[in-house]
């Protein structure tokens, strides 16, 4: 972990969060964890999300309302995006951290505070410039504004002496309100003004904390400059510092440029290249020691040394150099950080013994800096002790991508090219003639696959279930084969038997239930019923829902499958899946539009990664480019249309809307949660909301009548396109769900 005592010109993201928490007055909600996080330059993105909730969303939801909490959190996230963009625009190689901090404190932090407050000021018909010129503290502005409200005047008339004194002191600016003291008055309800009152008080405290109590921000700036101008001036100042150090590092810069050209990726190396690079590295090492006492550019030396060692065939020796480069480039140079992280994670995963701790660090900063997505998490629930930064199959995918980043002909002549020590990723080619039933060893495990592609270890029972070999499976079961064994990727014989009947696969399987009837007769452990496959996150119950057969779903529930076990790369509950499949019958055009809208979404790109098997690039940037290229190719478009038509034809041929309705009813009867949150195009969408969208009044009624769960009628979701939160009533109106509205009116008319 890189600690804060290694000084960097840019502050960390968690540092910005801590400053905001100080301004809001919520820092005590996570004091120790926040201070510890700020001593490091790196932070786990899951931990960062938790801190945002504890410091911003949870306290503001409780104090004001969820809508204001959304607004402040979204605004902070916007500021972080702007900050990352600033780091990308202005690399600070060679710039002294202390000098950079002075400029960032004065210009960016001033911008930060004003940006956080701007929308609320607009509601008061004020601008940051107005407040700056007024020579009043913000709490005075807020309280003068509130005094125009008859509702606030009514509160003041009945306020206690203590409350009146507190408000008087706030007006003077002598004392910042404690966060807890802002809870005075009534709770927010639809129709009253207390949400607005308390939101303005919070913003008043935030502004006054910085501009009255902190010396590093500059209120004078806001008198003469717009917020955008503050950022532009900062960029000019930082670029000015870059120009100043250019002359200081001139000799060093010439060497780095020459060395970089010699060590370009994917470029063929000549016979003398290795000697030339070695001489340049020695020269750069001497110059760095001479000119760069504070190590403000030293990451580049480590980066080039890592490339040199790698292209010399010394992969294991290159990894520590990549680690040093990574640690020194953090919060200094985002463009080169992305390049170093991309190279380092591919190289580290190619190692015969990948160093998971370093790989985790690379993945974490990739997520924080928006280079990559978080690893899939299907509920931080009883099935997982803690979130994973990167899964094993993803590491194998990065290893598989090594040859595209570092092709063999780009290595120095005579260097040993690192072969892939991992064979559990890539195209899976199976020669069935090589495998024969071994009835004497019913639990024998085979390595299935051809050299050069993926090789997967699997029990022969799983192998024959995959090939729908009913006779072979029956013989193995009679010989004592264990149905509770998995393949290396967590495929079970039961899962594969269910997939024999799944209607939305391409290509379709036999649709024969014989295999399932054989295997399901045997007792299965809970782990087999609920374990997800490695990449695609398939579960027996999730796949059973996609057969459209309520008897298969019921059988799995009777066997002990957990009714709410999330599955698939999107992390759906079986109930959510069942309701969603109704739309293929009732609203097929809407389904196609939804896919088109979501094709570049995180959910869809994660699914592509999981299904690619090495046929698509794994790094996020390259994957998006590959998908965009595909979309422009007529051949791909025709193939995609044909596959979609094939899938739709099979769904219509083998299932009906009532099949999926019956499955949904069964799941509800067995205790499925109608309030389970899902992140689709709508964040926090529940099965109840999806049933409302599809106007499935009978399913909504079944949820109301459930003996297991009370419906949360006050639940809300967030539209990811405009970030607007919507409640149940708004969804009914939005989707024009007439049958649901009529049913609810009849049931609750009293």
Residue 4 pLDDT greater than 50, yes or no: no
Residue 356 CA neighbour count, 13 Å, CB half: 7
Angle at CA of residue 299, ends 39 and 249, nearest 5°:
115
Q: Cα 698 to the chain's mean position, in Å? A: 35
Choice between 375 and 105, residue whose per-residue pLDDT is larger: 105
Residue 169 CA neighbour count, 13 Å, CB half: 12
Report pLDDT for 639.
Answer: 87
Per domain, the residue ranges of the chain are 13-236, 250-410, 432-672
Beta strands 678-679 and 456-459: pairing type?
Answer: unpaired
Q: Is 458 helix (H, G, I), strand (E, B) or coil?
A: strand
Q: For residues 206 and 25, what is the distance between their CA atoms, to the nearest angstrom?
A: 8
Residue 86 tokens read as: 């600033």
pLDDT over 90 for what percent of the chain? 78
Report pLDDT for 108.
Answer: 98
- For the ranges 294-303, 381-390, 471-480, 573-582, the lowest mean pLDDT is seen at 381-390
Q: For residues 446 and 487, what is the distance between their CA atoms, to the nearest angstrom?
A: 9
pLDDT, one tens digit per residue, over 125-140 is 999 999 999 999 999 9
Q: Is 492 helix (H, G, I), strand (E, B) or coil?
A: strand
Residue 676 pLDDT greater than 70, yes or no: yes
Q: Average pLDDT in the 695-719 region?
A: 96
Confidence tier at 508 by pLDDT (50, 70, 90): very high
Q: Average pLDDT in the 720-747 region?
A: 94
Q: Average pLDDT in the 235-261 region?
A: 90
CB of 676 closer than 8 Å to CB of 578: no
pLDDT, one tens digit per residue, over 160-178 is 999 999 999 999 988 899 9
Q: Is 628 helix (H, G, I), strand (E, B) or coil?
A: helix
CB of 138 closer than 8 Å to CB of 211: yes
- For the ranges 37-46, 227-236, 415-424, the lowest mean pLDDT is seen at 415-424
Report pLDDT for 629.
Answer: 85
Q: For residues 376 and 118, what is the distance between their CA atoms, to the nearest angstrom?
A: 35
Report pLDDT for 720.
Answer: 87
Residue 381 pLDDT greater than 60, yes or no: no
Report pLDDT for 379.
Answer: 42
CB neighbours of residue 120 within 10 Å = 23
Tell me the pLDDT of the chain averaged across its residues.
92
Bridge partners, residue 447, by sequence: 457
Report pLDDT for 378.
Answer: 60
pLDDT, one tens digit per residue, over 73-102 is 999 999 999 999 999 999 999 999 999 999
409, with CB counted inside 10 A (0-12, 13-18, 19+), is exposed
Residue 278 pLDDT greater than 90, yes or no: yes
The CATH code that applies to domain 432-672 is 1.25.40.20
Residue 261 tokens read as: 């050209």
505, with CB counted inside 10 A (0-12, 13-18, 19+), is middle
Q: Cα 419 to the chain's mean position, in Å? A: 32
Tell me the CA end-to-end span of the chain in Å, nearest whole number.
61
CB of 555 closer than 8 Å to CB of 541: no
Bridge partners, residue 717, by sequence: 726
Report pLDDT for 595.
Answer: 67
* Alpha helices (runs of H) in 467-601, residue ranges in sequence order: 470-478, 493-499, 514-519, 526-530, 540-545, 550-559, 574-586, 588-598
Residue 749 pLDDT greater than 70, yes or no: yes
Report pLDDT for 383.
Answer: 47
Q: For residues 739 and 742, what is the distance between their CA atoms, to the nearest angstrom?
A: 5
Report pLDDT for 674.
Answer: 98
Q: Measured on CA atoms in the order 664, 666, 667, 672, is the torsion positive or negative?
A: positive
Q: Is 7 helix (H, G, I), strand (E, B) or coil?
A: coil
Confidence tier at 614 by pLDDT (50, 70, 90): low
Q: For residues 73 and 202, what is the distance between their CA atoms, to the nearest angstrom?
A: 13
pLDDT, one tens digit per residue, over 243-252 is 998 887 888 8
Residue 5 pLDDT greater than 60, yes or no: no
Residue 31 pLDDT greater than 50, yes or no: yes
pTM for the model stands at 0.90
pLDDT, one tens digit per residue, over 282-325 is 999 999 999 888 889 999 999 999 999 999 999 999 999 999 99
Report pLDDT for 285.
Answer: 95
Report pLDDT for 6.
Answer: 52
Report pLDDT for 293.
Answer: 87
pLDDT, one tens digit per residue, over 188-210 is 988 899 999 999 999 999 999 99
CB neighbours of residue 620 within 10 Å = 18
Report pLDDT for 611.
Answer: 77
Q: For residues 496 and 666, what is the distance between their CA atoms, to the nearest angstrom?
A: 23
Q: Average pLDDT in the 209-225 region?
A: 95
Residue 220 pLDDT greater than 70, yes or no: yes
Angle at CA of residue 102, ends 98 and 105, nearest 5°:
125
pLDDT over 70 for what percent of the chain? 97
pLDDT, one tens digit per residue, over 320-362 is 999 999 999 999 999 999 999 999 999 999 999 999 999 999 9
């Amino acid at each position: 972990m890189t600690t804060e005592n290694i000084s960097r010109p840019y502050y960390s993201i968690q540092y910005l969060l801590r400053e905001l928490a100080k301004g809001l007055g919520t820092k005590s909600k996570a004091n120790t964890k926040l201070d510890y996080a700020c001593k490091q330059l790196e932070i786990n993105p899951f931990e960062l999300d938790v801190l945002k909730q504890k410091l911003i969303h949870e306290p503001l939801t409780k104090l004001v309302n969820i809508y204001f909490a959304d607004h402040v959190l979204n605004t902070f996230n916007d500021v972080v995006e702007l900050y990352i963009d600033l780091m990308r625009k202005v690399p600070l190689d060679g710039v002294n951290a202390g000098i950079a901090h002075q400029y960032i404190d004065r210009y960016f932090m001033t911008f930060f505070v004003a940006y956080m407050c701007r929308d609320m000021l607009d509601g008061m018909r004020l601008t940051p410039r107005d407040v700056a010129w007024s020579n009043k503290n913000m709490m005075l502005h807020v309280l003068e504004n509130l005094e125009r409200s008859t509702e606030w005047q009514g509160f003041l008339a009945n306020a206690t002496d203590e409350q009146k004194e507190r408000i008087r002191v706030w007006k003077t600016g002598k004392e910042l309100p404690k966060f807890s003291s802002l809870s005075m008055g009534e709770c927010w309800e639809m129709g009253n003004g207390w949400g607005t009152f308390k939101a303005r008080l919070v913003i008043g405290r935030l502004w006054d904390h910085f501009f009255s109590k902190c010396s590093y921000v500059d209120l004078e700036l806001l008198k003469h400059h717009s917020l955008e101008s503050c950022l532009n001036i900062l960029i000019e100042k930082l670029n000015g510092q870059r120009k100043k150090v250019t002359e200081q590092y001139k000799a060093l810069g010439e060497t780095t440029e020459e060395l970089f050209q010699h060590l370009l990726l994917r470029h063929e190396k000549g016979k003398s290249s290795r000697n030339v690079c070695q001489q340049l590295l020695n020269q750069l090492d001497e110059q760095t020691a001479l000119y760069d006492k504070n190590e403000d550019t030293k990451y580049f030396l480590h980066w080039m040394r890592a490339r040199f060692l790698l292209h010399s065939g010394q992969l294991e020796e290159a990894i520590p150099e990549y680690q040093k480069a990574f640690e020194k480039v953090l919060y200094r140079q985002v463009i080169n950080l992305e390049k170093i992280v991309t190279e380092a994670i591919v190289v580290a995963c190619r190692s015969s013994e990948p160093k998971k701790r370093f790989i985790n660090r690379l993945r974490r900063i990739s997520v924080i800096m928006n280079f990559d997505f978080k690893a899939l998490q299907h509920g931080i629930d009883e099935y997982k002790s803690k979130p994973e930064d990167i899964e094993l199959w993803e590491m194998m995918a990065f290893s598989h991508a090594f040859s595209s980043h570092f092709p063999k002909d780009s290595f120095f002549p005579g260097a040993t090219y690192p072969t892939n020590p991992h064979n559990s990723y890539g195209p899976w080619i199976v020669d069935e003639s090589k495998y024969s039933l071994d009835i004497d060893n019913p639990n024998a495990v085979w390595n299935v696959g051809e050299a050069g592609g993926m090789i997967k270890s699997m029990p022969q029972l799983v192998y024959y279930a995959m090939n729908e070999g009913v006779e072979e499976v029956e013989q193995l079961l009679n010989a004592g084969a264990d149905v509770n064994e998995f393949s290396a990727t967590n495929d079970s014989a039961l899962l594969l038997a269910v997939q024999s009947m799944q209607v939305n696969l391409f290509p379709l399987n036999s649709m024969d239930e014989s295999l399932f009837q054989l295997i399901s007769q045997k007792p299965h452990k809970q782990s087999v019923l609920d374990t997800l496959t490695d990449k695609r996150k398939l579960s027996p119950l999730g796949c059973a829902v996609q057969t459209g057969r309520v008897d298969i779903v019921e059988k799995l529930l009777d066997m002990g499958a957990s009714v709410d076990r999330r599955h698939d790369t999107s992390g759906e509950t079986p109930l959510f899946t069942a309701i969603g499949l109704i739309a293929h019958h009732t609203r097929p055009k809407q389904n196609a539009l939804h896919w088109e809208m979501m094709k570049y979404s995180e959910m869809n790109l994660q699914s592509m990664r999981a299904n690619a098997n090495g046929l698509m690039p794994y790094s996020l940037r390259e994957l998006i480019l590959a998908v965009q290229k595909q979309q422009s190719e007529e051949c791909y478009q025709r193939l995609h249309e044909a596959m979609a038509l094939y899938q739709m034809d099979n769904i219509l041929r083998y299932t009906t809307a009532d099949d999926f309705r019956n499955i949904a009813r069964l799941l509800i009867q067995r205790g499925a949660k109608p309030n389970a949150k899902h992140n689709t195009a709508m964040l926090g969408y529940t099965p109840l909301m999806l049933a409302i969208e599809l106007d499935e009044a009978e399913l909504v009624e079944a949820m109301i009548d459930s003996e297991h769960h009370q419906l949360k009628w006050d639940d809300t979701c967030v539209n990811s396109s405009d970030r607007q939160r919507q409640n149940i009533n708004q969804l009914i109106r939005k989707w024009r769900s007439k049958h649901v509205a009529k049913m609810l009116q009849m049931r609750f008319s009293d």
